[in-house]
Amino acid sequence: MGFVKKEYEFLEELGLSDCNLGCFVNGVWKGNGPTVSTVNPANNQVIAEVVEASSQDYEEGLQACAEAAKEWMQIPAPKRGEIVRQIGDALRAKLEQLGRLVSLEMGKILAEGIGEVQEIIDMCDFAVGLSRQLNGSIIPSERPNHMMLEMWNPLGIVGVITAFNFPCAVLGWNACIALVCGNCVVWKGAPTTPLITVAMTKLVAGVLEKNNLPGAIFTALCGGAEIGQAIAEDKRIPLVSFTGSSKVGLMVQQIVSQRFGKCLLELSGNNAIIVMDDADPKLAARSILFAAVGTAGQRCTTCRRLLLHESIYQNVLDQLVDAYKQVKIGDPLEKGTLLGPLHTRVSRENFEKGVQAIKAQGGKILTGGSVEMSEGNFVQPTIVEISPTAAIVKEELFGPVLYVMKFQTLEEAIEINNSVPQGLSSSIFTSRPDVIFKWIGPRGSDCGIVNVNIPTNGAEIGGAFGGEKATGGGREAGSDSWKQYMRRSTCTINYGNELPLAQGINFG
């Protein structure tokens, strides 16, 4: 059946209908679980329905995936890279439609929706090159006629559990690398963005079918916490990549660790931007606006804390308050919109509760602080003056709320930056080399992402993405993140006729 509302007709180009099976198992679409409705957060109206996976669907999918893994890992890595290249081309052909779907179902503005899909395309390109560079090492042996080398082999199956705020990009960070490394992928997308899960999977499935490969190489399961629990508990899945809150991530890690599996965690962020007295105020203000307001504050890399040197405090703050008042709030698919809705009604309620808690803890609202009266989940971008020691500052309020604080010295600013449980992203604005190198050094920021003169968000795929402390310690995307998706074997080969022992041991 087609869509009744004309604004949803573009979804038919992605193979979607008003009722969709949300489980791709062994190359077949099915769904024997509950039927759920997915809604447009701009008006809370139903877009379509999706039938989720049942426990039987899950088991069938994992059995087929385990069999497919035996075939996929035997295919040469550059040939696997060719499949990922074709996936990238399939995404390119549907870039605008997928970007519109991300904006429609998640709520981020269209530029960000298209940018998210472009990020997967970039990851495909990166992974294609990587498929010819999964290099080991040759290590000098201390024994004559011996050679030592490292081999990197696939794990088998990688489980990927993604969150609503980046409903497809995070899949790309993981799946592109996992596939070229020789692993099959089991993906559970966010339960509130099932159409994106289905649309992405249809494109991947089409590439596998065109190349006469088992569909079970890529298995997708729409569903809730019970599917995530099954993935965490499944001994057939050596690595589970989880993106979400620190609370749930800790639970996932404990479950996976109990079966000696490995976890790749991308959890909460509570990111700070420091603006020094020598910074360019206009550059800093533009960066802060994007970092704090982009994606309605629903990025893990969103700037939540702004630390301004006392000498430029009012200058930068005045620019920001003025800019916030000009932010256009509205339908994320409309041209000119900078702030779309929060993803769910619950998110909007949490924003209201957060503002109440801010006021109760001495926070002063400089601008914003209210919900927009509409059918959607719209709230005002908010700036708050508050003490860095306030309890709520240590928490992650997932919305466009920016805490502003004053500091006197670099050491004080670094201490404030490092004082929260999370450790994902951080940024400083300065032109002084001594400040820059202290900031990125061992006594500087304790985050996984340490920026200078750019925002906390908008990371490039070439670097390893991830953070420390309650952010989980995982690394995805570029650099040598691929090593997490493989197992390392240290191989020693004796090509002589004698048996000298290491460390000069003479045994008998």
pLDDT (tens digit, 9 = 90+) per residue, 72-99?
999 999 999 999 999 999 999 999 999 9
Q: What angle do CA 325, 327, 331 make, to 5 degrees?
A: 135
**pTM, 2 dp:** 0.96
Q: What tens digit of pLDDT does each residue of 427-448 get? A: 999 999 999 999 999 999 999 9
Give the per-residue pLDDT at 424: 98
Pick from 99, 94, 23: which is nearest to 55 by CA? 23
- What one-character DSSP code corresponds to residue 53? P
Token code pair at residue 322:
């003025």
| Rounded CA separation 117/168 (Å) | 7
**Interior/surface letters 121-134, b for 16+ CB within 10 angstroms, e for the rest:** bbbbebbbebbeeb
SS3 449: strand
**Average model confidence (pLDDT) for the chain?**
96
Q: Is residue 5 over pLDDT 80? A: no
The residues carrying an active-site annotation are: 266
CB 361 within 8 Å of CB 385? no
Give the per-residue pLDDT at 49: 97
List Cβ neighbours of 315 (8 Å cut-off, separation of 6 or more).
281
Average pLDDT, integer, range 469-495: 97
Point out which residues pair with 494 in neighbouring strands: 146
3-class SS shares of the chain: helix, strand, coil, % to 5:
40, 20, 35
At which residue do the structure tokens 């908010």 appear? 382
Q: Is residue 1 over pLDDT 60? A: no
Q: Is 145 left (phi over 0), alpha (psi -120 to 50) or beta?
A: left
> Do the bridges between strand 425-429 and strand 262-266 make them parallel or antiparallel, or are there none, so unpaired?
unpaired
Point out which residues pair with 379 in neighbouring strands: 371
Q: What are phi and psi of 275, to 5 degrees?
A: -115, 110
| Rounded CA separation 184/69 (Å) | 6
Give the per-residue pLDDT at 4: 56
Give the per-residue pLDDT at 504: 86
Best-predicted range by mean pLDDT (421-425, 496-500, 501-505): 421-425
Q: Residue 86 is inside which H or E element, if any? A: helix 77-93
| Rounded CA separation 472/468 (Å) | 6
Give the per-residue pLDDT at 432: 98
| Rounded CA separation 249/262 (Å) | 13
At which residue do the structure tokens 């070229």 appear? 180
Point out which residues pair with 147 in neighbouring strands: 493
At which residue do the structure tokens 């794990």 appear? 155
SS3 443: coil
Give the per-residue pLDDT at 506: 87
| Rounded CA separation 158/176 (Å) | 11
List Cβ neighbours of 18 (8 Å cut-off, separation of 6 or more).
1, 2, 3, 4, 48, 49
| Rounded CA separation 446/258 (Å) | 29
List Cβ neighbours of 298 (8 Å cut-off, separation of 6 or more).
107, 108, 165, 342, 343, 347, 398, 399
Average pLDDT, integer, range 91-111: 98
| Rounded CA separation 92/76 (Å) | 25
Q: Is residue 9 over pLDDT 90? A: no
**Separation in Å, CA 273 to CA 45, 288, 338, 406, 464:** 37, 8, 21, 12, 20
- What one-character DSSP code corresponds to residue 1? -
Q: Is residue 69 over pLDDT 90? A: yes
Average pLDDT, integer, range 171-179: 98
Q: Is residue 36 over pLDDT 70? A: yes
CB 171 within 8 Å of CB 163? no
| pLDDT classification of 322: cutoffs 50, 70, 90 | very high
Give the per-residue pLDDT at 3: 62
Q: Is residue 232 over pLDDT 80? A: yes
Burial of 4 (0-12, 13-18, 19+ CB in 10 A): exposed
Q: How far from the centroid of its chain's Cα atoms is residue 348's Cα? A: 22
Q: How many CB atoms lie within 10 A of CB 404?
A: 21
CB 316 within 8 Å of CB 378? no
List Cβ neighbours of 258 (8 Å cut-off, separation of 6 or more).
none
